Amino acid sequence: MTHTKPAGLPDKIRHFIDGKFVDSVGGEEFDVLDPVSNETYIQAAAGQKADIDLAVAAARRAFTEGPWPKMLPRERSRILHKVADIVESRDAQLAELESFDSGLPITQAKGQARRAAENFRFFADLIVAQHDDTFKVPGRQINYVNRKPIGVAGLITPWNTPFMLESWKLGPALATGNTVVLKPAEFTPLSASLWGEIFREAGVPDGVFNLVNGMGEEAGDALVKHPEVPLISFTGESSTGSLIFANSAPYLKGLSMELGGKSPAVVFADADLESALDATVFGVFSLNGERCTAGSRILVERSIYDEFVERYAERAKNVVVGLPSDPATEVGALVHPEHYEKVMSYVEIGKTEGRLVAGGGRPDEFPVGNFVSPTVFADVKPDARIFQEEIFGPVVAITPFDTDEEALELANNTKYGLAAYIWTSDLKRAHNFSQSVEAGMVWLNSNNVRDLRTPFGGVKASGLGHEGGYRSIDFYTDQQAVHITLNEAHSPKFGAGK
């Protein structure tokens, strides 16, 4: 199979502001690379402060003067369902663009487009079914909660599964009546460029959705520091999250940040070993290993450790590395040469910190591009860098344990706390371990199966706040308490004399 550009590429990737595709005010652009060849295949507008100012002004105008926040929930719901219909109808095109731009295997990119549509459907239904709390004091008072959209939401999204992760934020932000400015990742701006025409076709009013491409240090920084953007939702690495937290502080912005992870997958001797192998191999090598919830530290009870390592290594050696466009490919090309160099540097570090049992370099059949063989290190000590630091690639560390207490100590021995995966047939152990592990999300005897009704987010260095279900509604709305007196107010009579 040959590597070719997808059909329908635009001549250039532009911003989308107030219903129009536009270049940067100052004409700034940046190169977008194809991860298979690392050659520039298109130019994108590079947003600066002036472009963010225009986008925020359009979003603010659409919020204060436009119909969007004042629409009945059912009206907004109909439009968001239409967005989902359009996304589903363009599934093949979206997947092709996403795969070409990000290096994701085409079969996995197709799943992301379907999930993006489902995200819009979920929140379109949720706002119609939503009810607010009422508290009664019989004969005296009724108190109710009035939810109101907050204003302009700044959405900053990462380069792994970009289209789907953009929909996670766009769905609830728009459903609740806010307007948005989206700043997609500079490595993967291609699929995001489709949102403008999708929203326009669905009937979203001009100015409700705005998109500014560019670097985090320029466009992202200007969005975070803009005084008329009261909300920032960010998904990305923890160090960037810390910087956004600091830069938002003077403006007291609402923040939701889903950050990095170094998630443990704990396999006890009584686990269904075949199922655990399936899930743990998939959990770190799917999406090219570029996933925040990857189970990149596998902790295995010693009595089954040698068998597990041997079988895991064999599976890793047989993972199909190939062109992203090939339906047989299981691991494609990493997103960008900078990221490739980072992952390969960790592979070299790992060779001094563990026993290499699979991979460890570039596949022979791909002398160029960002290809990494699925790499497995065994006997990794808890203080090793490959055990402690997020690699964000197809690299895994396997470590033995002897007791439940040691397994828990190893699982929690990291600054991160996003996800955890536990494999055991002991019901008591499963629940007790789940409740003791320091992770925002736990999957028992399962791979990462997402339920949109549940909170998504982490603890420690893995995040701040949660989104998903009603947690997203909470984040994107102000909750105003309204108190009504039904009888005499009985206020103390200050200043009325005796």
Q: Is position 456 within any domain?
A: no
Instruction: Determine which helix (DSSP H) or strand (DSSP E) holds 117, and give its type and residue range.
Output: helix 106-129
Give mean pLDDT, residues 10-30: 98
Q: Is position 498 within any domain?
A: no
Do 270 and 121 share a structural domain? no
**Residue 427 tokens, joined:** 């019901």
Q: Is position 487 within any domain?
A: no
- Residue 50 predicted with pLDDT over 80: yes
CB 450 within 8 A of CB 229: no
pLDDT above 90 covers what percent of the chain? 94
Look up 29 and say whether it is catalytic: no
Closest CA to 117 of 458, 452, 493: 452
From the candidates 29, 258, 330, 353, which is the catalytic residue? 258
Give mean pLDDT, residues 103-129: 94
pLDDT of residue 497: 83
- Residue 73 phi, psi dihedral angles, 5° rounding: -50, -40
Torsion of Cα atoms, 206 then 209 then 215 then 217, to 10°: 100
Which residues, other chains included, contact 95 with Cβ-Cβ below 8 Å and sequence gap of 6+?
Answer: 106, 109, 110, 112, 113
- Residue 203 phi, psi dihedral angles, 5° rounding: 100, 15
Amino acid, single-letter form, for residue 184: P
CATH for 391: 3.40.309.10
Count: domains in the chain: 2
Closest CA to 77 of 204, 211, 231, 182: 204
Q: For the chain, what is the mean pLDDT?
A: 96
Q: Is position 4 within any domain?
A: no
pLDDT of residue 2: 79
Closest CA to 288 of 112, 124, 51: 112
CB 213 within 8 A of CB 185: no
Do 208 and 312 share a structural domain? no
- Residue 9 predicted with pLDDT over 80: yes
Q: Is 187 helix (H, G, I), strand (E, B) or coil?
A: coil
pLDDT of residue 123: 97
Do 65 and 194 share a structural domain? yes
Do 471 and 440 share a structural domain? no
Q: Is position 452 within any domain?
A: no
Residue 38: left (phi > 0), alpha (psi -120 to 50), or beta? left
CATH for 129: 3.40.605.10
- Residue 498 predicted with pLDDT over 80: no
- Residue 490 predicted with pLDDT over 90: no
Range of the domain at 118: 12-259+462-482
Do 236 and 197 share a structural domain? yes
Q: Is position 68 within any domain?
A: yes
Do 329 and 221 share a structural domain? no
pLDDT of residue 297: 98
Do 45 and 179 share a structural domain? yes
Do 249 and 318 share a structural domain? no
Q: Is position 352 within any domain?
A: yes
pLDDT of residue 445: 97
- Residue 1 predicted with pLDDT over 80: no
Q: How far apart are CA 192 and CA 112, in angstroms?
A: 13
**Residue 220 tokens, joined:** 């992202």
Give mean pLDDT, residues 105-129: 94
Do 321 and 248 share a structural domain? no
Do 119 and 255 share a structural domain? yes
**274, burial (CB in 10 Å: exposed 0-12, middle 13-18, buried 19+):** exposed
pLDDT of residue 113: 82
Do 283 and 231 share a structural domain? no
Q: Is position 497 within any domain?
A: no
Give mean pLDDT, residues 258-277: 97
> 30 has which bridge partners?
44
Do 373 and 224 share a structural domain? no
Q: 297-355, pLDDT tens digit by residue? A: 999 999 999 999 999 999 999 999 999 999 999 999 999 999 999 999 999 999 999 99
pLDDT of residue 489: 81
